[in-house]
Structure 1
Amino acid sequence: MRVTPDLSTARWRKSSYSGNQQGDACVEVSGDYPGTVPVRDSKNPAGPVLMLAGAAWEPFVAGVRRGSL
């Protein structure tokens, strides 16, 4: 059984590639949960949160950095 962590005290950070203009698409992540990466839409902080396995997040970030995603 999976247990969803309490995210009420999560410290969220926005991508350094995010623009500061209203309407920019951006995600925020929290590094407070070992082995799991919570991801949310910065424009809707009260909305749903995706809980990704750390093992899946690392290749995704690497692909973005390479420009292949």
Structure 2
Amino acid sequence: MAIVVNLDVVMAKKKMSASELAARVQITPANLSILKNNKAKAIRFSTLEAICKALDCQPGDLLAFEDEDKK
């Protein structure tokens, strides 16, 4: 997938556990795991906003584009 989710990196920098983030964002730990492991096909803007608020970061800190054609 060309869009990479760097959620685990940002969580480590902010020293926040997955269970704490899931509780703050009010999503299930299973759904958070799907995001963390780059298995998600989509993310709602409301979820992205809640994650950014909880981690005090920007969407660009969480998402990156990697051109698969240039690999």
Q: What is the TM-score normalised by the length of structure 2? A: 0.27
Query: Which one has a larger percent helix, Structure 1 or Structure 2?
Result: 2
Query: Which one has a larger percent strand, Structure 1 or Structure 2?
Result: 1
Q: What is the TM-score normalised by the length of structure 1? A: 0.28
Q: Which has the larger radius of gyration?
A: 1
